[in-house]
Structure formats: structure tokens, C-alpha cells
Amino acid sequence: MCGGIVGLATPELEQDVRSFFATRKLDLGGKTLEQYLEQLRVAVSFREREGRGIRAALVHALEA
């Protein structure tokens, strides 16, 4: 149901997602929501760390 939130991998959207869930009482069963939010944090961190390098590699590949 909420697995798509992992695709919202920008710091701004992560804050929106966290605010959304903090203001609502959603029971996804056990630790499901916690796991989705953790996956989102990992995706945002990866994008921040590797995004520039991946873009540069893709531009380089397209120019070759």
C-alpha cells in the first residue's frame, strides 16, 4: 500500500512523507511503516551520495 514512498527520494519529499505519517494514525501491521521509512532514508542518502557521479557517468556515456 505504501511501498511507493521509497520512490520519493529527495530530502524535501522525505520530510513531507514523515510529516504525513506523523500526523496520521495508520496501522500497517507490525514494523511495516518503519521499514518503508527506513528504505526511504536509505534511498535519499544514496541519491545524495551518488547522484552527481551517476549523472556524470550517464552524460559521459551519451557523449561517447
Q: Compute CA distances 60 → 18, 20, 30, 49, 52, whole Å.
A: 36, 39, 45, 19, 12
Beta strand extents in the chain (DSSP E only): none
Average pLDDT for 13-40: 92
| Grid-cell match 524535501, residue found | 12
**pTM value?**
0.80
pLDDT at residue 59 in the model: 95
Residue 45 structural domain: 3-63
| Grid-cell match 514523515, residue found | 18
| Grid-cell match 496520521, residue found | 24
pLDDT at residue 54 in the model: 94
| Total number of domains in the chain | 1
pLDDT at residue 26 in the model: 84
Whole-angstrom distance, CA of residue 41 vs CA of residue 7: 11
Q: What is the pLDDT of residues 27-61, one digit of tens each?
A: 888 899 999 999 999 999 999 999 999 999 999 99
